[in-house]
Structure formats: C-alpha cells, structure tokens
Amino acid sequence: MVKIGETWVGVNTGRTNKLVAEAITDGKITEFKNVDKIITEIQTSRHTRLDLMIVQGDCTTYLEVKNCSLAINGRAMFPDAVTVRGTKHLHELARLVAEGSKAAIFFLVQRMDAECFTPALHIDPTYCKALEQASAAGVGILVYQAEVGPKGIKVVRPLPLCV
C-alpha cells in the first residue's frame, strides 16, 4: 500500500484475489451467501484461467477479480492502463454465460476517497466496450470498496456504479 496525499491505496494486485475470497467466506459480499466452496485459478478454456469459482449448492459462479487503485474526482476507475488480458477475461465471462453458467467481474476499490465506480473510457475504450457487452450478455458487475491503512486492508462496503 502507498499513501497518496491523505489516502492509503492498495496497490499489491497479488493480494486482491485473497482479499475478495476472504470477504466472501466471511459473508461480507452480499451476492454470495452460503458458499460451499471457493476454487482459485480455475481453467475455463485452453488459454484462460479465471480468478475464482464460487460454489453455492448446485449454483456455480465464475468470478474475475480486478484491483482498482485509480480514482479521479471521487470516481474509482478501471483500468489504469490498457489491458488486453482484462478484455480477454471479459470475453471469457460472456462466453461462459452464453453456455449457461453464471459469471461476474468484481472490482475491488482499494481506497476510501471514491464514492462510485466507472470504467476508465479515456484509458482503454476497448476494455470499456467489452465490459458493456459483457454486462449486456448477463455478466454481473460487482464493485466493493476496501478500507486500506497501516493496520491492514478489509472489504467494507459495496460501491455504486456512477451514472
């Protein structure tokens, strides 16, 4: 984590998946209650792995997790750089939904100075278009905020999409 002005920001992308999995296990993610199992790094096709597979009874949801560390004027944004790999993951989530599975993209905003989330169209319009298409195809979009500070990082609340 780093301190930018008065705000602590979580920048260790290697920690994000674990933070989200822990929050799901602890019941902090309202969309996932009564979880039986969480499988990490699940291969969904020959060249694609997604971050989490969440099993709730006979319901399985594929989840791709993204760390969001960028905020401008109170709006958390992703991506903070062009992401061909991120776009590929969105196409994979949409493919899984088309085949009858449940899937979602999960943005973990690791800073407390954001009031809502919006895709960073000015940084990667291709990713933003893929996100829009994935959402229209039935891929869920989940955004949660984490409190970041010297004592640790914890997921604290859902964050709305900016209109």
Domain boundaries, the chain: 2-158
Its pTM surpasses 0.85 = yes
- 123's CB contacts (< 8 A; 6+ apart) are 77, 79, 80, 81, 82
Average pLDDT score over the chain: 94
Alpha helices by DSSP H, the chain: 13-25, 84-98, 125-136
CATH 3.40.1350.60 fits 2-158, yes or no: yes
- Helix (H) or strand (E) segment spanning residue 30: none
Q: How far apart are CA 73 and CA 139, in angstroms?
A: 27
pLDDT, tens only, 70-104: 999 999 999 999 999 999 999 999 999 999 999 99
Helix (H, G, I), strand (E, B) or coil at 122: coil
pLDDT, tens only, 27-73: 999 999 889 999 999 999 888 999 999 999 889 999 999 999 999 99
Give the tokens for residue 18.
């674990």
Would you state the pLDDT for residue 112? 94
